[in-house]
Structure 1
Amino acid sequence: MAHSSDAPHQPVRASVAAFVGTMVEWYDFYVYGTAAALVFGRLFFPQVDGFYGTLAAFGTFAVGFLARPLGGAVFGHVGDRVGRKTSLIITLFMMGLVTTLIGLLPTYATIGVWAPVLLVALRFVQGIAVGGEWGGAVLMAGEHAPSRDRRTFFASFAQLGSPAGLILSMLMFKLVTTLPEADFLAWGWRVPFLFSAVMLVIGLAIRLGVQESPDFLAEQRRRAQAAKAAQPPLWEVLRGAPGLLAVATCANVLGIAGFYFTNTFMIAYATTYLKIDRALILDCLLLVSIMQFLITPLSAYVAERVGVHRFLVATAAISILTPYAMFTLVDRGTLTGITLGVGLAVAGLGAFYAVIAGYVSDSFPTRIRYTGISMAYQLSGAVFGGITPIVGTILAQQAGGAWWPLAMLFSLIAAISLVSVLALRRAHARQVAASAA
């Protein structure tokens, strides 16, 4: 157990650990998404070219999302019963190991059909790991906050790991895409995956230095004094709070599906239909990711001042309108046009994403909080996040590259989150009042 003199430093340590840990996890996840858009179709599904090859590669991308609810259930149980810290150490190790193995995986040309089979299997395990990671990182940062009214800001450090991971993945792919095409296909694409082993060591070293969440320790003491045995947290969530789980799931849609729309599907759209060089689109997304990184803590700070609920409603409403400006600018095919267009969309959804984690976590009681927010986030990823690049690819193909159906898809994503945040308000207020009593 850490000395009491460490206690004042724990909020900062927990926030840094949440940031670094989620940065490593999301780096691994985004590296796969970028590779799926750029190279996996040719290396692992060479028997289906063009549109169908890209669709098959995005299908393996979706497998990771389908596995995430399983990870949320398994590691939600560990986090709610054994400890937040234990769960986070396991998920981080799993993610780094699996991503490194993907970088060592033989392609279809070497081992035939076993290549895509192994790729899908590793992607599934990767999805389980990230499914357990997010909820714990949000809680370790938020529950270490010095006061309840600062939780939104501290929880945002876990959200900060997402754009940071994307920036790192983009930088790695920007580096390897400068290689000659033959070298990139032969070994260059593996480098970003193998780099995960280095990041894993750094992430584990930082995360091991954080104490357990104060809220979890208090709940553990309460359970020890209770005469009645506690129900499994997943059963309690599904049986006792199914409506809250459904609304929380839909509230996360903009931050998840919207993000994969702009940062995964847009790579395939721009390179396939606008014939934009892949290096240019990666440069644009890198600039946009840096912007999102900067606005994440700023958004959390502003939300604390104007009211978290009001902030979420405003950013979701704005995001309904931004895709029309985004595609108008992206269609110009210039660095400035693509950066401004995608940047407009990401500004709205990024501000929303920065704040939604703390808001949703405060809607669940401590005893089932890890499981509740993990299942909400991961179900949202499985239902909406994983299929968004697939639906976008199909819509673009059917519309011959016309962007208006794609803009309507993005507006629908934002509208789902807007309605859900409005519905979540009562449950959030009720739980905050109960915790304060």
Structure 2
Amino acid sequence: MRVLKLTSTLMLLMLILIGVSSCSNEDENIGNIPSQLIKTWYMGEGTYITFNADGTGVYTETDEISTAKLMRRTGTRTTDTYSFTYSYEESTQTLTIHIDGDVMRWTIVTLTDDTLKIKDEEGELITLKKDATSEPDIDITLLYNTWISETQDIYTFNNDGNGTYKAKEETSANDITYEYDEANKQLTLHRVNGKVVRWTILSLTNDTLKVKDNDGQELTLTVYTNTAWIELLYGKWGFLGKPSIEFTNKEGNRLCTVYEGEETPYTVAFKYDAYNRIYFFENESWSGGFWQVKQVTQDILSIDVFSSDGENLTKESSMTLFRIPEPDELVVGDESLLYGDEWTSFSYDDGSPITLQFRQNFSDVIWTEGGDKMTFNYTYNSDSHELVFTVDGETEAFKIIKLTDHVMYLAIYENGVLADGMEFRKL
């Protein structure tokens, strides 16, 4: 038998109890029932459960039925009530509920005058409230997330009253604004086409949002996470083995560490949405701008950086970083590793790709950048690992400080100090 859950339990209990007019307690001793338990508890969504001192109880579910005549609406309510019996084991704080020959067991986690928290047989935590006249409080901060509906529409709510909406059939998301009326638990969404949608929030948890729309239809949305890309995000990223940024996830704490030259690295919390956007918590708030992740693989991370002044969104820059291997050993393999597939790097200015391909038989390299293809002569000293490009009498000297079948670091030294360089991968 399935056990009760806050999101689906209520209807399940009703179905189990249909046709049961009375039950007898199968245990002669109902146990030392806590006095705080003896009352009516509100379970949400118009459902109540009452525990009596004699080991009996009543479950009540109320449905509202609305009918529309012309422009006027009237409402009627139907109420279904079912009886059950129960006992209490003090040593394990277990409630055993007997229902028409079936048994359910709840473990009491917290019991006060106002709140009852129980854990069902599947380990799910359910919270009940003493006040049966009103809905439990809505923690609106739980709304700040990305949600997907049963029809595959995706909504993102930021904490500044802005967000996005993407219908299932659309290829991109549109901006929305929203406001929340706490007194009426009403969420109003404004779309770019002028359409206004009003939802009454029925319940809101870390992973489930239940609402009632303008037409009285109930909708269930769940937290949406596109984890395929986020798992690839974690690790160190930079150039030539020097980290620029690092993403970590330690026990659910998502952090981004920024390395700025010789300055001390600093770390901030980050979050992400279903559209591959990364937001940072700085100056005691989530910043208005974000990083748009265009591509993340085992090798590269490509990002567009956007800033916002509250009204306008501006693209500030683009960058492509390389994943720093662990451990990052500076080994230089045989010259033969230079040849074969193309090597790929990216422009510092706009993140556009740069490719080169060594041709051993011609002692030249084909360099492609910004759609232009150029051919350079080169020489390579396998002892000093010096690589020299020559074009139109001009030379550019690099030192290969790492060369594997997959990674190549080309360094430029000035007065014996690493001044610049490029990193290439065989992608």
Larger fraction in strand? 2
Shorter-chain TM-score bucket reads under 0.3
- TM-score w.r.t. the length of structure 2 is 0.22
Higher relative contact order at CA 8 Å, sep ≥6: structure 1 or structure 2?
1
